[in-house]
């Protein structure tokens, strides 16, 4: 199991200490591939796509419109599942 966290680097040019989860491109419990876009977050006026760091089954932790901060957990990823 691993956490899918919001990258602190997204706040490098931001004045605000928080952002918002705009949308999820996956459903909670979905099997995802590494590099697949899974969510979109808004920090100030910029939208940022979040991609899966590894394959596995994602469980959403931060719902749409949730307020997020640098390092916030967006979802957990069960990467121990074997394909097939």
Asked whether the predicted pLDDT for residue 61 surpasses 80, the reply is yes
Q: What is the Cα–Cα distance from 75 to 52, expressed in whole angstroms?
A: 10
Q: Where are the domains of the chain?
A: 2-78
- Express each pLDDT in 10-52 by its tens digit: 888 778 889 999 999 999 999 999 999 999 999 998 999 999 9
pTM (two decimals)? 0.85
Are the C-beta atoms of residues 21 and 66 closer than 8 Å to each other? yes
Tell me the CATH class for 2-78.
Answer: mainly beta
Asked whether the predicted pLDDT for residue 84 surpasses 50, the reply is no
Q: In the structure encoding, which two tokens stand for residue 38, read together?
A: 């899974």
What are the percentages of helix, strand and coil residues in the chain, rounded to 5? 5, 45, 50
Are the C-beta atoms of residues 45 and 64 closer than 8 Å to each other? no
């Amino acid at each position: 199991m691993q956490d899918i966290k919001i990258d602190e680097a997204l706040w490098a040019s931001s004045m605000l200490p928080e952002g918002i989860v705009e949308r999820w491109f996956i459903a909670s419990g979905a099997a995802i591939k590494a590099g697949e876009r899974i969510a979109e977050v808004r920090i100030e006026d910029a939208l940022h796509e979040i991609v899966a760091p590894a394959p596995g089954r994602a469980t959403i932790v931060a719902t749409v419109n949730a307020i997020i901060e640098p390092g916030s957990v967006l979802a957990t990823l069960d990467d121990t599942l074997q394909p097939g």
